[in-house]
Amino acid sequence: MAASVDTAKTVGALGADEYKYGFVTDIEAVAAPKGLDESTVAFISKQKGEPAWMLDWRLKAYRHWLTMTEPDWAKVGYPPIDYQDAYYFSAPKKAGDGPQSLDEVDPELLRTYEKLGIPLREQEVLAGVAVDAVFDSVSVATTFKGKLADMGVIFCPISEAIREHPDLVRRYLGSVVPYSDNFFATLNSAVFTDGSFVYVPKGVRCPMELSTYFRINAANTGQFERTLIIADEGSYVSYLEGCTAPMRDENQLHAAVVELITHDDAEIKYSTVQNWYPGDKDGKGGIYNFVTKRGACRGRNSKISWTQVETGSAITWKYPSYILEGDGSVGEFHSVAITNNRQQADTGTKMIHIGKNTRSTIIAKGISAGRAQNTYRGLVKALPGANGARNYTQCDSLLLGDRCGAHTVPYIEVKNRSARVEHEATTSKISDDQLFYCRQRGLSAEDAVSMIVNGFCKQVLQKLPMEFAVEAQKLVGISLEGSVG
């Protein structure tokens, strides 16, 4: 834990008025030529050393993508993306088969990680956290593989899993998010370059929190991660995902797919603290973040909880979804979405209740400031067989300033009479009374706002594993800078 806390402290200390991760590393990169066609897909597959069935799957997805049209119904407005004007694969060159230990990792890379506040060496020695550090579409170092392997836990880059554990991958890849699911997921299925693969065997409680850091570096490289996490019967795993990105002028595309599967009595806890570059005060240059995340509670009494803090991205389009198939399964969604300046977020969740006696809780907190637009869009659906389904949803929006907007659009579909669905939403601002009370006790207006906003988010932040919670709190403060006054 200690090193992770250190990491968080370092991360926190780096925060201030400027986006501190705004730097670029000069590393030789192997890139596919610009543009996207079947040969790009083949190039990626070859670079990854994939078996034929994997290339086939990618090509099926690519061909399907050509028949699809981009969705445009969200409230976000963005200039059209030219999919041919981007690089789809950029990986740091590696000598031989890749690093066997940290000693073999390119020292430039290690220095980059240090700047990011990930003292890998320290982590390996002190921490209980295994880190799969994703850098420009290739996982460079994976620590603690050995220890996890003893317990039968597989935690490795997905490209490795495709090679080393093909049966598992074939069984589960695309089983929760089929390649034809939606425009961005289909694109991802064709050109995904890396991501994490986790398999926890029956009855195993993964002893450490698994975490991954992402970073987008080379200009115009969209990052397409594919993550697959499987918790077998009676197992438990907690996965942390935290991201940073450097300053760029061109918008960068991020279209990830995450699939989670829980079997009987298993539990996956997935936490995200996202800190993409949001664009400057005029909204220029930030990350486009279109993510498809879905969890299937296949087994009885299984549970998936998603906790996320979103504070970056020029545009965020993200709806983690839950399929509550197993009887008694539970879905929990806790989210804080913060938008400032000219950011736009259209996020929410979908809970599909299928099995009997399933339960879901949605707590979504949105904070808008500057000229930002923050929309919660959620779906709670109880299918005809969902006897005894229970949902409780609470969406609260906080507006800082009078030029931003907060929108709540929940869709509720109940097809079973014994299902009970409750939804509440409120929108408000920080009351003058609250502000005055804090100031009369000696706190500055900025500190007061920060404190009240953190109080507003507390219900969600306290769901995060401790080290993330600290980083998240600082992130909340940084993202709202300039919004008071």
Partner 1 sequence: MSIATQRAERADRFRAAYLDQAAALAPTLPGHGVGWLDRRRARAAERFAEIGFPSRRDEAWTFTDPRPLTRAVLAPAPKRANGVDKTALSRFLPAGVEAHLVVFVDGHFRADLSALDDLPEGVRLGGLAATLTVAPDCMKRVLDHDADAADSGPVALNAALAADGAVLRIADGVALARPIAFLYLASGAPAAMHLRNVVVAGAGARASLIEVYGALGDAAYWTNAVTDLQVADGASIAHLRIQGEAPAAFHLAATRARLGMKGAYRRFALTLGGRLARDEVSARIEGEDGDCRLDGLYLGRDRQHLDTTTVIDHLAPGGASGEHYKGVVDDRARGVFQGRIVVHPDAQGTDAHQLAKALLLSETAEIDAKPELEINADDVKCSHGAAAGEIDADALFYLRARGIDAERARHMLIGAFADEVIERVAEPALRAHVHDLAASWLASAGG
Partner 2 sequence: MTSGNGAARAPMLEIENLHVSVAGKPILCGIDLVVNPGEVHAIMGPNGSGKSTLAHVLAGREGYEVTAGTVRYLGRDMLALEPEERAREGLFLGFQYPIEIPGVAGVNFLKAAVNAVRVHRGEGELDAIDFLKLARAKAKLLEIDEALLKRPLNVGFSGGEKKRNEIFQMVLLDPRLAVLDETDSGLDVDALRVVAGGVNALRGPERSVVLITHYQRLLDYIVPDVVHILAGGRIVKSGGKDLALEVEDQGYATLASGTAA
Residues that bind partner 2 (CB under 8 A): 431-434, 436-445, 447, 451-452, 454-459
Residue type, 109: L
Q: Does 445 bind partner 1 (CB under 8 A)?
A: no
Antiparallel, parallel or unpaired: β 154-157 and 236-244: unpaired
**What b/e string do you get for 409-430 counting C-beta neighbours within 10 Å, with b at 16 or more?**
ebeeebebeebebebebeeeeb
CB of 281 to partner 1, least distance (A): 19
CA–CA gap between residue 287 and residue 247 (Å, rounded) = 9
Q: How far apart are the first and last CA of the chain?
A: 39
Q: Does 100 bind partner 1 (CB under 8 A)?
A: no
- 457 contacts which partner out of partner 1, partner 2, none, CB within 5 to 8 A by kind? partner 2
Residue type, 469: A
Q: Does 404 bind partner 1 (CB under 8 A)?
A: yes
Q: Does 408 bind partner 1 (CB under 8 A)?
A: yes
Q: Which residue has the tokens 């409750």?
A: 422
Find the binder of partner 1 among 424, 444, 455, 462 (CB under 8 A).
Answer: 424
**In the complex with partner 1, which residue's Cβ is closer, 305 or 368?**
368
Which of 22-30, 174-182, 308-316, 402-410 is the region at the interface with partner 1 (rule: CB under 8 A)? 402-410
**Tokens at residue 373, please?**
């637009």
Which residue, among 272, 273, 254, has the nearest Cα to 475 in the 3D structure?
A: 273
CB of 395 to partner 1, least distance (A): 8
- 447 contacts which partner out of partner 1, partner 2, none, CB within 5 to 8 A by kind? partner 2
Find the binder of partner 1 among 413, 436, 439, 462 (CB under 8 A).
Answer: 413
Q: Does 400 bind partner 1 (CB under 8 A)?
A: yes
Antiparallel, parallel or unpaired: β 321-324 and 350-353: parallel
Spatial contact of 44 and 193, defined as CB atoms under 8 Å apart: yes
Q: Does 73 bind partner 1 (CB under 8 A)?
A: yes
**Tokens at residue 57, please?**
């799957």
**In the complex with partner 1, which residue's Cβ is closer, 417 or 441?**
417
Beta bridge partners of 211: 131, 240
Query: How many residues of this chain bind partner 1 (CB under 8 A)?
Result: 34
Find the binder of partner 1 among 94, 170, 420, 458 (CB under 8 A).
Answer: 420
Q: Supply the angle between the helices 183-191 and 38-47 in degrees, to the nearest 10.
A: 50
Spatial contact of 382 and 351, defined as CB atoms under 8 Å apart: no
Which residue, among 455, 426, 460, has the nearest Cα to 438 in the 3D structure?
A: 455
Q: Does 409 bind partner 1 (CB under 8 A)?
A: yes
Residue type, 412: I
- 27 contacts which partner out of partner 2, partner 1, none, CB within 5 to 8 A by kind? none
Spatial contact of 102 and 120, defined as CB atoms under 8 Å apart: yes
Which of 145-153, 299-307, 330-338, 418-426 is the region at the interface with partner 1 (rule: CB under 8 A)? 418-426
- 458 contacts which partner out of partner 1, partner 2, none, CB within 5 to 8 A by kind? partner 2
**In the complex with partner 1, which residue's Cβ is closer, 129 or 400?**
400
CA–CA gap between residue 379 and residue 355 (Å, rounded) = 17
DSSP label of 87: B
Find the binder of partner 1 among 384, 436, 444, 462 (CB under 8 A).
Answer: 384
Q: Does 42 bind partner 1 (CB under 8 A)?
A: no
Q: Does 428 bind partner 1 (CB under 8 A)?
A: yes
Spatial contact of 278 and 248, defined as CB atoms under 8 Å apart: no
Give the number of other CB atoms < 10 A from CB of residue 13: 11
CB of 278 to partner 2, least distance (A): 24
**In the complex with partner 2, which residue's Cβ is closer, 79 or 442?**
442
414 Cβ partners below 8 Å, 6+ apart? 381, 382, 421
Binding mask 340-379 for partner 1 (x = CB under 8 A): ----------------------------------------
Q: Does 426 bind partner 1 (CB under 8 A)?
A: yes
- CA distances, 413 to each of 137, 350, 427 (Å): 39, 11, 23
Q: Does 482 bind partner 1 (CB under 8 A)?
A: no
3-state secondary structure of 113: helix
**In the complex with partner 1, which residue's Cβ is closer, 217 or 349?**
349
CB of 416 to partner 1, least distance (A): 7
Q: Does 410 bind partner 1 (CB under 8 A)?
A: yes
3-state secondary structure of 447: helix
CB of 360 to partner 2, least distance (A): 23
Q: Does 60 bind partner 1 (CB under 8 A)?
A: no
Where on the chain is the footprint of partner 1 (CB under 8 A)? Answer: 73, 384, 397, 399-429
